[in-house]
Structure 1
């Protein structure tokens, strides 16, 4: 019998003549090579043929006795492979042979879910016509509509909504709606569609307390944030479970355009504290977001504001070893005063370069 590598190379290339010759020359053992699997993935020859779009091989293997439903180590069947790769002929052939249209791979993904991460509407329509259920949820609680919204391809979202008008009313296991997802990924057209055609409540929150507006801002999608303000009257001051507003989240992520929009265009108060007492300045200092730090200072942020433990942005930047942030804070006149535990910012410095920075500052 040929080696595994030889068999899969022929399947990869769609070499039907090779397999016909193999079958005719090896009548007694052809059943064994049909069952060969690739050691690392557990793929069989049908997986390879479906992935490459070789429908003629799928037919040949099936007629020779191969099982169209055998999964690989990831639980994927040939239909998963054909769907994910967008090979419509393979998808149609497999479905015509009555394979399970909603078969599950690892993490409970159906072929329709995989198709929903692409932009091939015809494949999705074909699966649905054969009975695929778009309301099924994967391990994380996402249905096919939710996945399509993440990808931001409007024709597929419109198709799902027309087919099943209730699919929008779903949340993932961490409480995230499709509207959260489109905002996070900056899918403007799909966000607009959802706002105009679905019944999401204003500032719907996920399990962390984040709203779609917060997601848009912390991802730097100002245009989507504006859309949520205009179409849904989102609350720009809404807070999540730890008291973060959109400004805190944008500062943490380092999205300067979001920070500028919130502070300069919308006039958001820069020194509003979180539940722990941290201002956006301290949040930016913790993450080493130097550009955000400078924007906030330019907008009048209190450089010496402290959190519930008496720590200033200088404490935070020093303890997090962000030398550039320490330097700008010292240059702008930040105080070297102790927190409630008696620690001054310089005592939290571990890097020699930051220690030297404090020593130079004290010597002035």
Structure 2
């Protein structure tokens, strides 16, 4: 819930049903869908509901939203997709579900980063491996002219060496 950290009071105008519900409150998501809340529109912070659910690894909410017609390729203002956010945050089950549902494994965000770039940067070795199995293109360069393997740096992750090994194979 959106609270003012100083006063500890709830601020209704900063509330968002999608942002508040993706903490795993499946019934809350279901209730708002039944009330006709939009499935493919961004909230005031720029994030659509499936992207929020994927970014939090809330698989049951993701499945519900998809079954109700949420667009698997919905994007926020930074052009992130649910797959990009799940890969960035390390939620392998969310990544696998989205890939199985046909998400674009090579989708580009505003900086031309793919989910592989994000997973590599964060050292999510298993997700990097999974994305490669789903034919992620390791030759895509982002706007900084970086490949996913170039994102494997110790400043971003302690697992950078292992991630680099998977990408180099």
Which position in structure 2 is the counterpart of 1:104?
A: 108
Structure 1: how far apart are the matches of 2:74 and 2:14?
18
1:36 shift after superposition: 3.6
- For this pair of structures, how many residues does the alignment match? 154
Aligned pair 1:138/2:142, yes or no? yes
Q: 1:15 aligns with which of 8, 21, 25?
A: 25
What pairs with 1:1-364 in structure 2 (closer than 5 Å)? 5-24=15-34, 26=35, 30=36, 32-40=37-45, 42-149=46-153, 151=156, 153-162=160-169
TM-score by length of 2: 0.83
Higher helix share: 1
Shift of residue 35, structure 1, vs aligned partner:
3.1
Shift of 1:9: 4.1
TM (norm. structure 1) is: 0.40
After superposition, the C-alpha distances for 1:205-226 in whole angstroms (9 at most, x for unaligned) are xxxxxxxxxxxxxxxxxxxxxx
Structure 1 unmatched runs, 5+? 163-364
Q: Secondary structure at the match of 2:22?
A: helix
Contact kept, 8 Å, 1:50 with 1:79, in 2: the verdict is: yes
Aligned position for 2:7 = none
Give per-residue Cα distances to partners, 1:287-327, cap 9 Å, x unaligned: xxxxxxxxxxxxxxxxxxxxxxxxxxxxxxxxxxxxxxxxx
1:9, 1:112 → 2: CA distance? 25
* Deviation by residue 1:245-297 (Cα, 9 ceiling, x = unmatched): xxxxxxxxxxxxxxxxxxxxxxxxxxxxxxxxxxxxxxxxxxxxxxxxxxxxx
The change in CA–CA distance for 1:4 and 1:129 in structure 2 (over 3 A counts) is farther
C-alpha distance in structure 2 between counterparts of 1:149 and 1:22, whole Å: 41
Change (3 A) 1:101 1:4: farther
User: 5+ unaligned residues in a row in structure 2: which ranges?
Assistant: 1-12
Q: Which residue of 1 aligns with 2:9?
A: none
Larger C-alpha radius of gyration, 1 or 2? 1
